[in-house]
A and B are shown apart, each in its own frame.
Chain A
Amino acid sequence: MQYLIEILPSLMSGAQMTLSIFALTIIGAIPLGMILAVGLMRAKTWLMKGVHALLTAYIWLFRGTPLLLQLIFVFYGLPILGIVFDRYSAALFAFILNYAAYFAEIFRGGFAAVDRGQTEASMMLNLTRWQTLRYVVIPQVVKIVLPSIGNEVINLVKDSSLVYVIGLGDLLRAGNVASARDVTLLPLVMVGVIYLVLTLVLTLGLKLLEKHFSYYR
């Protein structure tokens, strides 16, 4: 018990890093993913077809390679091209781009699942494209994608531990350091418990959100 209290401060500062990577990735990647999904909708003009092709390539790249590799490339590789990030920014950059690619795919599916007739009905009511998105389509998309977004959000909590590879001190790293120094697994058990608490809180929050959206079908 005494020992646990001793290592708690270092674990907590690690947890802080984990949480800040987590929160900022969510704040950056969800809106970005939604915007990208709008860009992925049916392309009519040549310009839009070009955008569409670029976005498809980007999603393929970020979903087709490990996040760990992307982190390494952003932090150690991009400086070769003259683009230098500090560790924390590099982590956020890689995480946001990676998760936005997943979210874009999820939102794209959500947009596709909203009946085309809804847009046509909006058109006949003389709503603008933006009003249609804002009041008719996006509210329905949010409800549709919530479970898939929830899965990714839970994954993100655990994925955030990958930042150790570019030398950031997150929760798992704090546990590892203490464990190696004191030759005991106890810190890692604590780390596991903290991850469980985090994912439990998120799961409950997501359940509440889903419940909130159950007022219609």
Chain B
Amino acid sequence: MLELKNISKQFGGRKILDDINVTITDHQTLAIVGPSGAGKTTLLRIISGLEQPDSGTFIWNGIQTTPQQLRLDGIIGVVFQNFELFPNLSVQDNITLSPILHGQDPKAAKANALQLLAQLDLADQASAYPFSLSGGQKQRVAIARALALNPKILLYDEPTSALDPALRESVADLVKQFKANGMTQVIVTHDLAFADLVADATLTVKKQEAVD
């Protein structure tokens, strides 16, 4: 279980997050919802350690920690809103780059990547380059890349925003499938219907009023 307590964040004196508490329960799917500009992405970036909060504490299984430590321990995987696949690497190499650099046997890393791709219905795209994939395919490669490091928590930023509405259901099915396998997931979205479809719990981030 990951708890964030009293998280606050300002940008240039403008309050974005004010004293937010987040509890991420094992094997559950948490949706973070709220209007555009409310600070959902900012909160996800704080959980990932990409953004430093002005104040707040992180508690992992009862012990205080830092997002940097969580990252080093491989606790957190992120699926970015625009996926951030590496264009210079094939789909397979996108997935195996980090495992191999962290000492995994290249053959095993490749086998694992191919297995993940097969599960995500991408078996035939292993040697393709990201530019040739559709949005939905890119997203699944990004998911496979994150999963290859066996994170405990998988974060998604707006997983439905870059997709055809028809693909929404299939993303929801994936999230449910991962949940059934025991994955803990956090989904940032402004799509309330999607949140309803997948989430066990919902956290609403409110837009802060401009203060003078």
Instruction: Tell me the A residues contacting B by CB distance below 8 Å.
Output: 115, 117-118, 120-121, 123-127, 131, 135-136, 139-140, 143, 215-217
B 58-101 to A, binary, CB cutoff 8 A, 1 in contact else 0: 00000000000001101011101010111111000000011001
- The answer to whether A124 touches B50, judged by C-beta atoms less than 8 angstroms apart, is yes
Evaluate contact between A125 and B98: CB separation under 8 angstroms.
yes
Q: Interface size for chain B: under 10, 10 to 19, 20 to 34, or 35 or more residues?
A: 20 to 34
Contact of A120 among B80, B88, B98, B130 (CB under 8 A): B80
- Which of A121, A125, A131, A140 touches B88 (beta carbons < 8 Å)? A140
Q: How far is the CA of A217 from the CA of B80 in the complex (A)?
A: 19
Question: Are B80's CB and A117's CB within 8 A?
Answer: yes
| B149 on the A face (CB < 8 A) | yes
Residues of A within 8 A of B72 (CB): 126
- With known contacts A124-B76, A126-B71, A115–B97 Cβ distance under 8 A: no
Q: Is the interface of A mostly helix, strand, loop or mixed?
A: helix
Tell me if B102 is interfacial: C-beta within 8 Å of chain A.
Answer: yes
Residues from chain A with Cβ under 8 Å of B71 in the complex:
123-124, 126
- Pair A131/B87 contact, Cβ less than 8 Å: no
Tell me the nearest residue of chain B to A131, going by C-beta: B101
How close is B92's CB to chain A, nearest CB, in angstroms? 14
Q: What are 20 residue pairs bridging A and B, where the CB atoms are less than 8 Å apart in the complex?
A: A117-B80, A118-B86, A120-B50, A121-B80, A121-B84, A121-B85, A123-B71, A124-B78, A125-B97, A126-B102, A127-B97, A135-B86, A135-B89, A135-B97, A136-B86, A140-B88, A216-B87, A216-B130, A216-B131, A217-B131
B131 neighbours in A (Cβ, 8 Å): 216-217
Check A124–B77 contact: CB distance below 8 A.
yes
Instruction: Point out which of B48, B86, B145 has the most chain A C-beta atoms below 10 A from its C-beta.
Output: B86
A117–B81 CA distance with the chains assembled, in angstroms:
10
Complex Cα–Cα for A117 and B130 (A): 15
Q: A121-B84, A135-B101 are contacts. A126–B74 as well, Cβ < 8 Å?
A: yes
Q: Could you say which residues of chain B place their CB within 8 Å of the CB of A127?
A: 97-98, 101
- A117 and B98 CA atoms in complex are apart in Å by 16
Which of B77, B86, B88 counts the most A-chain CB atoms under 10 A from its CB? B88
Determine how close the nearest CB of chain A comes to the CB of B80; give it in whole angstroms: 6
Given the known interface contacts A121-B84, A125-B98, A126-B71, the answer about A216 and B149 at a Cβ–Cβ threshold of 8 Å is: no
Which B residues are CB-close (under 8 A) to A217? 87, 129, 131
| Inter-subunit contact A117/B84 (CB<8 Å) | yes
